[in-house]
Structure 1
Amino acid sequence: MTFRLRAARLEDIEPLYEMAKLTGGGFTNLPADRDALTAKIERSTRSYAQETDGTLRDELFVLVLENVETRQVRGTCQIFTQVGQQWPFYSYRLTTLTQHSQELDRTVRAEMLSLVTDLEGCSEVGGLFLHPNERAGGLGMLLARSRYLFIAMHRKRFAERILAELRGIIDERGGSPFWDGVAGRFFGMSFQEADYFNAINGNQFIADLMPKHPVYVAMLSETARTAIGVPHPSGRAAMRMLEKEGFSYDGYVDIFDGGPTMIARTDNVESVKAATGAGLERCNLEKGEKAILAAGELENFRACYGAKETEGDDGLAIDPQSADILDVKSGEMVWSVGR
């Protein structure tokens, strides 16, 4: 089977909704709510249609993974150009306070969680979900890395820094030990209720009710402490993939489930840095370097796995199947990054 990544459309709402019901909670960017998903796709459609003058805007691009043969949507991912513009972008920052007593001749180091908006203005990659029946054949990598090709192809629309939030620990009941130990004590809401409310209505309620003073980690329950900065088991591979791309964990965690926030300089992300664009010279390549190929701007963006070969100084040859999937002809621009 062959897959391609393309811009999401309103007719994709139903498969997106069905996938959202499979996430298991803690997946704010893909809420199991048709109205919220419709609003998200409508916002994405406006972003695709928006011309740029080089000014950063609060845009969202939703992409879907489509089976070329059946036209079924089997995965999705999202790219935000600049977070924290519509609503504040809150994180907890894990820091250490060192204090010394001369009388006791003792130094004490206390870890604290402070509510911050340090990451406002960053771009974000998120909302990545692959249908459980398709988690083979490198489709997760195609979803993840195609986002960076999109960024490289539309670089002026994105900020100097980029982040990725990983889902934190969720227990067998669908609850969050971190939420129960920290914010849940102030809101009178379960994690699932707060997570759903945030996905549908935004996080202004966090600014209204969240305690503004630092929280001492030592005062939390053991289950809450051990969840800080730890990804959900299903997200460990994603964390390793982000690290290979150049992202790192710098003590920022999600305010709901305590999952780690990974950060990188946009131009230092490996798949952005290595992405190259070239004019298509021919599309009858039989064998070549395995690559992720992409073509088309904004709503016409498409990406797939394929084979490539450099032609002359600035030309490219690709295999015929990829040319068909990308709908490109000789002379058109094709971007690529090694697989």
Structure 2
Amino acid sequence: MSFRIRAARDEDLQHLYEMAKLTGGGFTNLPPDKPALRAKLERSHAAFAREADSLEDELFVLVLENAETQEVRGTCQIFTQVGQHWPFYSYRVATLTKHSEALRRTFRAEILNLVNDLEGASEVGGLFLHPGERAGGLGLLLARSRYLFIKAHRQRFADRILAELRGVIDEAGGSPFWDGVAGRFFGMSFQEADQFNAIHGNQFIADLMPKHPVYTAMLPENARSVIGLPHPSGRAAMRMLEREGFHYENYVDIFDGGPTMTARTDQVGTIRNARQVRVAELGGDGEPMLVSAGRLEHFRVALGQVRAGDAGDVLLDPACAALLGVDAGDQVTVVERD
């Protein structure tokens, strides 16, 4: 396999833009807008260039590259600490219970509370794999590369991590949740709000969103029915997050009602199970593993064959070593490909 994960570069802008046009809306972290994407790349460059291992408000953009053709076929992003520049809003789904002694009945109402509970957490997001590459484990490579990056730069990330999954979008590109809740207060369609948020941030939410709890019983049925549900194309991503140890804890996205998954950073499966080893020599068959090497802009991840050596070191297949730019005697980080 000739694919590897690496840091995004300026020359990747056109590839990112072409992929952004394929997302189908509701994909805030990858807007089909070149100035916004260029700003992301500039912010990512600054993060890769900073050497100090401390927690700051940063964004790292990684890409999936075919090393043979130099084509970029996927991307993902890691935010080190959300809610530092703009407030990070979520809806928390809660239950309000009341009892009437006169009626001898207990009433339970589901409500949406606007909260900043997840502020300060790290976030994995912006994952998109070109439709032509959705086979052969490349989605897994792209998703789990983020955790290997966190493992290699642990001091630059928070102790809690989240992932927002895109919510249900209808055939016309609209959001039943947006139409039933926020759309009533903003005077704009979901597509307009989504594009504005991707380019300008969500401060307008703070300015216009009602702060009072929203009773879901007052919402249209099509809005209620999608709360906490991922877009059909995101179900596999949700299962992948669950296998890593993420959980849905009743936080949903304020735009489309999609689920927000959370985990303790050190308990994420790939982060917990990855181990650093020395490459004793190149060659030989082995077990399929994810292998990473390097730091910051030199960070790489690829799928490879790894076999245990005699002294706790490993044998690594030459093709993977070439993709990572490593040789015998170098250190790599390996984790089983589940």
The two structures have a TM-score, normalised by structure 1, of 0.98
Aligned partners of 2:117 and 2:308: how far apart in 1?
Answer: 42
What is the RMSD computed on CA atoms of the aligned residues? 0.8
Structure 1 counterpart of 2:219, one-letter code = L
Report 1:72-221 matches (<5 A).
Answer: 72-221=71-220
Matched residue SS, 1:97 = strand
AA aligned opposite 1:298: L
Partner of 1:185: helix, strand, or coil?
Answer: helix
Pair 1:249 & 2:248 matched:
yes
Q: Give the structure 1 partner of residue 298 of structure 2.
A: 300
- Which residue identity lines up with residue 8 of structure 1 in the other structure? A
Spell out the pairing of 1:28-67 with structure 2 (5 A cutoff): 28-53=28-53, 55-67=54-66
Tell me by how many angstroms 1:201 deviates: 0.2
Q: 1:23 is aligned with what amino acid?
A: T
Cα distance in structure 1, aligned partners of 2:315 and 2:79: 32
Counterpart code for 1:326: L
Spell out, residue by residue over 1:292-332, the C-alpha distance to the aligned partner (whole angstroms, 9 max, x if none).
Answer: 01101010011111011222344222000011110102222
Note the 1:254-333 alignment, pairs <5 A: 254-284=253-283, 286-333=284-331
- CA shift digits 1:79-126 (9 cap, x unpaired): 111111111100000000000000000000000001000000100000
1-structure distance, mates of 2:147, 2:287: 19
Aligned residue in 1 for 2:239: 240
CA distance in 2, matches of 1:52, 1:184: 43
Structure 2 CA distance for aligned equivalents of residues 189 and 203 of structure 1: 14
Deviations, residues 197-249 of structure 1 (Å, cap 9, x unaligned): 00000000000000000000000000000110000000000000000000000
How far, CA to CA, are the matches of 1:289 and 1:52 in structure 2? 35
Supply the distance in 2 between the matched residues of 1:260 and 1:282 (Cα, whole angstroms).
45
Q: Gaps (5+ residues) in structure 2?
A: none
Query: In structure 2, the residue corresponding to 1:227 is in which secondary structure?
Result: coil
Q: Deviations over 1:46-92 (max 9, x none)?
A: 00011224x31011110000011111000000011111111110000
- Aligned mates of 1:139, 1:67 — CA distance in 2: 11
Cα distance between partner residues in 2 of 1:257 and 1:332: 46
Structure 1 residue corresponding to 2:333, chosen from 313, 332, 335: 335
1:5 pairs with 2:31? no
AA of the residue aligned to 2:16 = L
AA partner of residue 287 (structure 2): E
Q: Quick one: structure 1 residues 135 and 100, their matched pair in 2 at CA, closer, same or farther if it must change by over 3 Å?
A: same
After TM superposition, give the deviation of residue 129 of structure 1 in Å. Answer: 0.2
> How many corresponding residue pairs?
337
How far did 1:134 drift?
Answer: 0.6
2:18 counterpart residue number = 18
> How far apart are the structure 1 equivalents of 2:98 and 2:312?
60
- The runs of at least 4 consecutive aligned structure 1 residues that moved more than 4 Å come to none
- Mapped to 2, the partners of 1:329 and 1:279 lie a distance apart of 10
Structure 2 length as normaliser, TM-score?
A: 0.98
* Structure-2 separation of matches of 1:18 and 1:282: 40
Rounded Cα–Cα distance in structure 1 between residues aligned with 2:169 and 2:311: 51
Compared with structure 1, are the counterparts of its residues 314 and 156 closer, same or farther at alpha carbon in structure 2 (3 Å cutoff)? farther
Structure 2 distance, partners of 1:86, 1:128, is 22
Which amino acid in the other structure matches residue 52 of structure 2? T
Q: State the distance in 2 between where 1:145 and 1:45 align.
A: 21
